Each structure stands twice: as structure tokens, then as C-alpha cells.
A and B are shown apart, each in its own frame.
Chain A
Amino acid sequence: MAPTAERDSVSLGSAKPTLSSDLIVQVSPGVPAKELTYQEAIREALREEMERDPSVFLMGEDIGKHGGAFGVTRTLFDQFGANRVLNTPISENTIVGAGTGAALVGMRPVMEIMFVDFSGLAMDQICTQAAKLRLMTGGQVKVPWVLRMPQGGGAGKSIAAQHSQSLEVWYAHIPGLKVVMPSTPYDAKGLMKAAIRDDNPVIFLEQKFLYAFRGLVPDAEYVVPLEQCDVKRVGADVTVIANGLMVWYAMLAAKILAPEGIDVEVIDVATISRLDRATIGRSARKTGRVVVISEACRSYGPSGEWAMSAMEEAFEYLRAPIVRVTGRDTPIPFADSIEKGVWPETEDVVQAIRSVMAW
């Protein structure tokens, strides 16, 4: 079962639905599968891709014996050795730039930056070099790398303003990059495999709170395609668009609202950039009501892009204004009592859905 976080609980009389792994089931009964955490699923993908393709190698700070700040690469150093799992100096910009150089000559590096918050140091290499090389060389080269970065809500750990941000739009705004953030162990493994096999620079964001979430992952080989939204729940009345941890909040809200006769469709924006507008449009035209949820800051955040896309794709079908539920426009404060207040809660999602249903 997924950990039950205080901030996610929703009071509903005597019953108290909580986040649990059965909210999202992606493996059909009878399919051979095992339960993995999101963290383990990413590691499985790395391991399998490294076994499959000798050009895949890992690079990052403390990713060797230590296994990385969140343990994602644990055991890989022992299995693959120092030539496949490279512990680097604290040099974010050159970690990424060296990854680009290696990718230009045929390698497929997977780099880790310890927290997305530190990626400001690598902004030049990510956004100004890697993202633009293919265009400005007239297609002479490709840059097949993956940059793994934990991001988002501090898992109730109070790690304050410089370790807690949600920054997907920094990268989604740059053409040439692909930006991915899985919400489940199944997606984490399948999307990581797709990211490694992709011929473009892929920003792979890992929501920190989700690392411990469990879910079924098939034993057989599979890949989850990039650049697609995934309909996590089919519903008729309202479309909820979310990513990462917020997908779980949406699923929980859907469960809470089902007894009221509100049938929620949940769309997981697993690949943020080059948004799959078709899936959003199809759903919005069907339900006529849209709620967008994002952990990132409200202003100029992903929620605005999703809402605008829904409007552009389905304006004449909409029966209510689009409502958004987002993180507040503030650096993340330390103290638990106020940290909790800056992120959306499931209750906020429930209220937002009720508000669009009232139209």
C-alpha cells in the first residue's frame, strides 16, 4: 500500500478514503507482475536498458555506492562498475554538457541531478546547448540523453525552498526538449525505457513523494510511449487534468465523488512538453467540464497551458469555466504548519470538481 500522508487525507464522515495503490491499476488480472515502488521501477528500467544497450551509462553526484540522494541507482554500481555508473564532481553544468558530448558521439547517457532545484546551474547546457544543437546544425546531430531530476513536494519532510520546487515548465518552455514526469511505478518504468531509447534530450522528473508508492509492474518487457496523455480513469461528467502526485489526488477525488453521482475522467499528462492536445480535447468535448491540477506555482504554470489547450480544443463544448487547483505563488517555506498550506490538497480538488459541476 502507498504511504498515507497526513496532508492527503480527506475527512468524509466515518469513511476516510486515502491514497492507496488500488486507486490506479494498470496491470490486468492474470498478467505476470510484481509489486515495485516508483523508485524501484525506475531502477529496473535503468538496469534493463543498461543490460540491453552498452551505450547506456549513468552519471551524477553520489550515484555510485551511495546510490544517489534517493537511492534510485542503488546496486547498479555493484552490478555495472565504475565505467557504467560514474560518480561525478559537483559540477551540474558539466555533468549535462559532458552528457551532451557523449551523446553526440553515440552514447546514451542518463544523468542525475540531485534535486531539480540544482538544475539552474545546468540551465545553459540543458536549454541553450542540448536543446538547440539539432536545429542549429541543420539536423547533422542528435542528442539522445536523459536527465533525471527529483522534484516537487517535500514528502512531508520539510526540505524548504531550495529542495522542493516543481519546475517542469522551465523545461517545457524550451523547444527541443521533451519533459516527462511519471505518476505510477508502471509508468515510471515504461517511460524511462522510452526516454532512454528516444533520440532527443529528455528531462525525466521524478516526484519525490511518489518514490515510495507501490504498484504492479509486469514481468514482461514493455515501453510507455512518450508524448501521450494517459487516461487514468474514464468518466462522463468532468475532465481532471493532472500530473505526478496530483494524478493520485484526482483519482482520490474521483473516488470520493463517485457516490454523489459525479463521474470523473482523469487525464495524466505524463509527457508535459509537446502536449498531447488530442487526448485533452477529446475528453473535454465529451465531458464539457475541465479542472486542471498542478503542484507547481499557479502563475505561468502548467495549469495555464493545459486549461488553454482544453479551451482551444473544445471551446464550443464547454459548459463551465475551467477551474484550476495549483500550488501557491511562493517559495516553499520550511515549517510544516505553513509548508502544507502551499500545495493543493485532495479536498481542494473535490471542491473544484463540485464547483464546475454546479454550472
Chain B
Amino acid sequence: MIDIAHETLLEMYRRMVRIRHFENAASDLFRRGLVKGTVHPYVGQEASGVGVCMALHQDDLIAGTHRSHGHNIAKGADCARMMAEILGKETGYCKGRGGSMHIAAFETGSLGALAVVGSGIPLAVGAGLAFKLRGEERVAVPFTGEGGTNTGNWHEGMNMAAIWNLPVVFVLENNHYAVSTNVDDVIKVKDLAQRAQAYGMPGVRVDGFDVIAVYEAAAAAVARARRGDGPTLLVTECYRLEGHYAGEPEVYRTRDEVKEYWRREPLARFRVDMTSAGLVADNELDAIDNEVQVEIAEAVEFAKQSPAPDPATAMDFIYA
């Protein structure tokens, strides 16, 4: 029995669709040479970011990675300012100083998107520490992939959050690939939630294609953190349906493997599950599809029309 408000269900779907369309648009711009640098699509992981962020309050904070377009959108960031950032425009969240890998909308609760794998984790631990020291009932959520859990950052951060009982929910999105390296080649345990045991915190593992399952598990972990009962490791089992970056050759996995996971992708899954349960109607979801399509087209247009940063400002923002 799903006890989630109707509007919340629709908002979950809207944010997942937003991410999907945003990523497709960004990847398209990248392939056409309109985006410099790189784009790391979050396609396939929409239910993970949205399920977690819908369980958070506006003033709870998330720490992102090089693949955090989705995390920002899930937390409520504006797609036009996101797209402008990717195109290196002054109207972007980071005024074009960050780009795809560093988009961080602090006004909707980002703690930064840090593109060295694992490096955002200590920041979330520190934010959680500040919340605890000040007696605030806020929660910090570092996102990482399974690759990031082999870094010292992750292990040090898990330990520090555990010993101090900090309000942190460590979200481990197992998308199965760190660039080209499969999880089975670099992690011995099959159930990544077991890693929590080493730090004396609960580890929970959920189907990362199922936004409802992610949301419910995240809500429980967040509630626990807010109560002052300490951190949780939340493993969302998902899959990176696109390459490491948009247009990557993907020589390290088979088409069949990817095709198999496409059958489980979270948007179609949501539609089937929710309509068959009678919780939402097809036409409601269709309307959202159409609205988001327009929203993303407008975001692209806004980004294209926006001015690039003035070269005279190259030395701005180095020091406060």
C-alpha cells in the first residue's frame, strides 16, 4: 500500500521526466559541439535522485558529483539556469565558472558538485556536523556512485559521521560502472549495504529503478537522522544507461546488457506501476511529459540566448 500524496507522486514523475529530457537535450547539444568540455548523463538513475530528494526538506543539503545534473533537478533547481551553466553562460547557476561537472544550485540546497570522485562526501559530513553542533534538525546527503566507495573520502566520512552520530544519509548509487570499470571487478562484497556494518551504521539496499522504494527508504533514513539517531547508508541499485559521458563508445559492455536494463528504466516503470494501481492516470502523466518538453526547449533557448561571461571578469570569484 503506497501512502504518498497524489501531488507528491506527480511531482516525482515530473522531476524524473525533467531529468531525462534535460539530459537528452544536454547530450544532444554536446554531440553538436555546442557544449564544451563534457556531459555526464544521469539517465537511468532518475528514480534514485528524485526518490531521495523528495524525502528532503528545502534546507536539507546534498553534495553532488561530476554526474549531478539529476541531483540538482531532483532537489528543485531551475532547468534554464542549469542549461545556461552547461553552455558556459553568465546566467548559469555558477555564472559559467563551473560548467556541467560543477553545477550547484545552493539556493535549492546544494553543497556543491565536486568532480573528484568521493570528494563531496566530507563536505556533507561537515555540514551534518554543523547542523548537530547548532542543534538544527537538518540533514546532509552526499551522493556517490559505487566507484566512490573505494576512496578514502568515503571510508573516512562514513566513520566520522558514525562516531559523532551525525545527521547524514550516505546515498550510494550503484550504477555499475566507474567509467569503464564494472563494480564486480573492484568490490568484493555483492551487497554494498554490508559496507555499513564496518562503521556501525545501518545499511539499506533498495531497487534504484523504483522511485517509491527509494523515497520510502530515504524517508526512513532521513527521519532517523533528523531524530538524532545518526547516519545511514542507503544503496540504490540502478544502472548508467548512457555512456560515462555523452557519446562515449562504451567498448566495455554489450548492447544486450544495456538493452536489458532499458527494460527496467524508471520512468516507464513508474507509469506502469502507478496507473495499474490506480494512483495516477495516464493523461496526467502525458500532460507532465508535454509540459516538461516545452520547459526544456525553453531552457535550451534561454541558455543559447544568454550572454557569455565578460572576459574582463576572468579573475572574479577567486577570493571572497
* A interface residues (Cβ-Cβ under 8 A, vs B): 57, 83, 86, 88-89, 91, 93-94, 96-107, 109, 124-125, 128-129, 133-144, 175-176, 178, 199-200, 274
* In contact, A138 and B153 (Cβ under 8 angstroms): no
* Complex alpha-carbon distance, A104 and B121, angstroms: 13
Identify which of residues 87-117 in chain B touch chain A, using a CB-to-CB cut-off of 8 Å.
92-98, 102, 104, 106, 111-112, 114, 116
Residues 50-80 of B, flagged 1 when their CB comes within 8 A of A and 0 if not, give 0000000000010100000000000000000
A328 to chain B, nearest CB (A): 33
Our pick among B121, B125, B163, B320 for the contact of A134 (Cβ within 8 Å) is B320
* In contact, B126 and A136 (Cβ under 8 angstroms): no
**Interface Cβ pair total, 8 Å cutoff:** 140
* In contact, B112 and A137 (Cβ under 8 angstroms): yes
* In contact, A101 and B119 (Cβ under 8 angstroms): no
**Given known A91-B159, A138-B94, A138-B95, contact A97–B119 (CB-CB < 8 A):** yes
* Complex alpha-carbon distance, A140 and B135, angstroms: 25
Residues 134-166 of B, flagged 1 when their CB comes within 8 A of A and 0 if not, give 000000100000000000110011011001100
* In contact, A137 and B98 (Cβ under 8 angstroms): yes
* Complex alpha-carbon distance, A107 and B96, angstroms: 27
B270 to chain A, nearest CB (A): 32
**Given known A128-B116, A141-B106, A175-B318, contact A136–B123 (CB-CB < 8 A):** no
New A-B pairs, 10, CB < 8 Å, besides A100-B123, A138-B92 = A94-B157, A97-B125, A101-B122, A102-B133, A104-B111, A134-B319, A134-B320, A137-B94, A137-B97, A274-B319
B187 to chain A, nearest CB (A): 21
- B34 within 8 Å of A (CB atoms): no
A118 to chain B, nearest CB (A): 13
- B131 within 8 Å of A (CB atoms): yes
| Residues of B close to A137: CB separation below 8 A | 93-94, 97-98, 102, 104, 106, 112, 317
* In contact, B123 and A129 (Cβ under 8 angstroms): yes
| Residues of A close to B116: CB separation below 8 A | 124, 128-129
Our pick among B94, B104, B119, B124 for the contact of A129 (Cβ within 8 Å) is B119
| Residues of B close to A104: CB separation below 8 A | 111-112, 123, 126-127
* In contact, A140 and B106 (Cβ under 8 angstroms): yes
| Residues of B close to A106: CB separation below 8 A | 130
Most chain B CB inside 10 Å of its own CB: which residue of A104, A137, A178 = A137
| Residues of A close to B153: CB separation below 8 A | 93-94, 97, 124
* In contact, B156 and A93 (Cβ under 8 angstroms): yes
A173 to chain B, nearest CB (A): 14
- B316 within 8 Å of A (CB atoms): yes
| Residues of B close to A139: CB separation below 8 A | 95, 97, 316-317, 320
| Residues of A close to B63: CB separation below 8 A | 101
B60 to chain A, nearest CB (A): 11
* Complex alpha-carbon distance, A113 and B319, angstroms: 23
Closest to B85 in A: A138
Show 23 residue pairs from A and B whose CB-CB distance is below 8 angstroms, ordered by the A residue.
Answer: A86-B164, A89-B163, A93-B156, A94-B125, A96-B122, A97-B123, A97-B126, A98-B122, A98-B125, A101-B125, A105-B61, A107-B130, A124-B153, A125-B122, A134-B319, A135-B317, A136-B102, A137-B98, A138-B97, A138-B98, A144-B320, A176-B319, A199-B320
A60 to chain B, nearest CB (A): 13
Our pick among A101, A124, A140, A178 for the contact of B126 (Cβ within 8 Å) is A101
Our pick among B94, B95, B96, B126 for the contact of A98 (Cβ within 8 Å) is B126
Our pick among B112, B127, B159, B319 for the contact of A102 (Cβ within 8 Å) is B127
* In contact, B123 and A101 (Cβ under 8 angstroms): yes
* In contact, A89 and B159 (Cβ under 8 angstroms): yes
| Residues of A close to B196: CB separation below 8 A | none
* Complex alpha-carbon distance, A135 and B129, angstroms: 24
| Residues of A close to B320: CB separation below 8 A | 134, 139, 142-144, 199-200
| Residues of B close to A143: CB separation below 8 A | 320
**5 closest cross-chain pairs (CB), A and B:** A97-B122, A101-B126, A138-B95, A98-B126, A101-B123
| Residues of A close to B157: CB separation below 8 A | 94, 97-98
